Structure 1
Amino acid sequence: MKRAATLLLLATTLAASPLMAQTPAPQPILPESLRWFSPPNNPLVRGAWMLGAEQDAGAYVFRVTLARNAKLPVHTHPDTRHTTVLSGTLYVGFGDVFDESRMAAVPAGGLYVAPANVPHYLWAKDGDVSYQEVGVGPTATVPVAR
C-alpha cells in the first residue's frame, strides 16, 4: 500500500512539473521605470501611471508625489478613486471651495475614497507626500471653476 501511494505521489509530481515550469515570473513595476510628469503651472506635483492610462478603459493605478506645501485645487474625476497614502500626511477636503478648516488628515497607511464627480482638494501641509490612486477608466481630472 505504501509503495502504491509513493508511486502515485511521484507520478503526480512528475506530471505537474511541466505545468509549474510554465508559470511566468512576476513582472514588478518599479518606481525608477515610471514616466513622471507635472501638471501645468504646478511643479510641486508629480504623477505617473503605473498601470493603465487616463484615456484607457479598465483598472488603473496612478502614483502621485506632492512636495511640502503643494496644493491641488478643487477638482473632480468621472470615476470613484480609492487613494492610499504611502508616505507623509495628506490633507483632503470635499466641497466647491478650498477650505483649510474642513480638511481631514490622512496619514501614511490610511485610505480615503473620492466618489465620482464629487469636488475635492488636497494639500501636503506638513511635508512631502506620496500616494497611490486606483480606479476604473477612462478617467480625467476636471478643475472646478469658481
Structure 2
Amino acid sequence: MKVPYLIAAAAFCFGMSSPLMAAETDKPEHIVITPDEFVWVDGPAGLPSGTKVAILEGDPSKAGPFTLRLKVPANYKIQPHWHPAIEHVTVLDGIFHMGMGDKFDESLGKILPVGSFAVMPIKSHHYAWTGNEAATIQLHGVGPWGITYVNPSDDPRKQKK
C-alpha cells in the first residue's frame, strides 16, 4: 500500500510522472491509510528546504484532487507567493502563521493553532511561517499545484545551492 504514495511523493517533489500514478487516478478508489503508513520525503523544490511531505491522495502535479501532509520545521518562512488553483490548509499539530499580501509582515499575519483552517483563492498572495515550534498541516486542493513567488528572487528553485 505504501508504494503508490511513495511514487506520488517522488513525482511531486521531482516534477516527474509515473504510469502507475496515472493508472491509479483513472479510477476512483477507496483510500484508507493510517499515519504509520505515510511515506515522508523531502518537501517540493518550490518550498524552502526543511519540510517533509506525505502524499495521501492524488498527484499534486496533475489535474484532479490531492491531499498531502506537510511537516514544517520551527522558525520557517515561506515568502509571499500564490498558487494557480485554490488551496486549503488545516493545522494538525503545532502553530502555523499566515498573512496576506505582497510583503512578508508577521505583524499583519494570523496565528493558526491546531484545528485552524484557511482557504486561499486562486492567485491570492499570501505567506506563512512557524515560530519556535514545528507544525504539521494538511493541504488539499485540485491540481496541478504550483507555487509562484511574488518576488522571483525568493523562489528556492532559483537560489544557488
TM range (shorter): 0.7 to 0.9
Q: Is 1:105 aligned to 2:101, yes or no?
A: no
The match for 2:95 is 89
Structure number with bigger Rg: 1
Q: Which runs of 5+ in 2 are unaligned?
A: 1-28, 153-161
Q: CA deviation at 1:108?
A: 0.3
Q: 1:30 aligns with which of 8, 13, 35?
A: 35
Conserved? CA contact 1:63–1:131, under 8 Å: yes
Q: CA deviation at 1:32?
A: 4.3
Please, what TM-score do these two structures have when normalized by structure 2?
Answer: 0.68
* RMSD, matched Cα: 2.3
Amino acid at match of 1:28: I
Q: CA deviation at 1:102?
A: 0.4
The match for 1:79 is 85
Q: Which runs of 5+ in 1 are unaligned?
A: 1-23
How far, CA to CA, are the matches of 2:138 and 2:124 in structure 1?
18
Once the two structures are overlaid, the 10-residue window that deviates more, 37-46 or 69-78, is: 37-46
How far, CA to CA, are the matches of 2:31 and 2:117 in structure 1?
26
Q: Residues 1-146 of structure 1 correspond to what in structure 2 (within 5 A)? A: 27-28=32-33, 30-40=35-45, 42-145=48-151
How far, CA to CA, are the matches of 2:30 and 2:66 in structure 1?
21
Amino acid at match of 2:61: Q
| Change in CA separation of 1:53 and 1:102 when aligned onto 2, cut-off 3 Å | same
Q: How many residues align?
A: 123
Conserved? CA contact 1:29–1:50, under 8 Å: no
Please, what TM-score do these two structures have when normalized by structure 1?
Answer: 0.74
| Change in CA separation of 1:137 and 1:88 when aligned onto 2, cut-off 3 Å | same
Q: CA deviation at 1:42?
A: 2.9
Seq. identity, % = 30
Q: CA deviation at 1:78?
A: 0.8
Q: CA deviation at 1:44?
A: 2.5
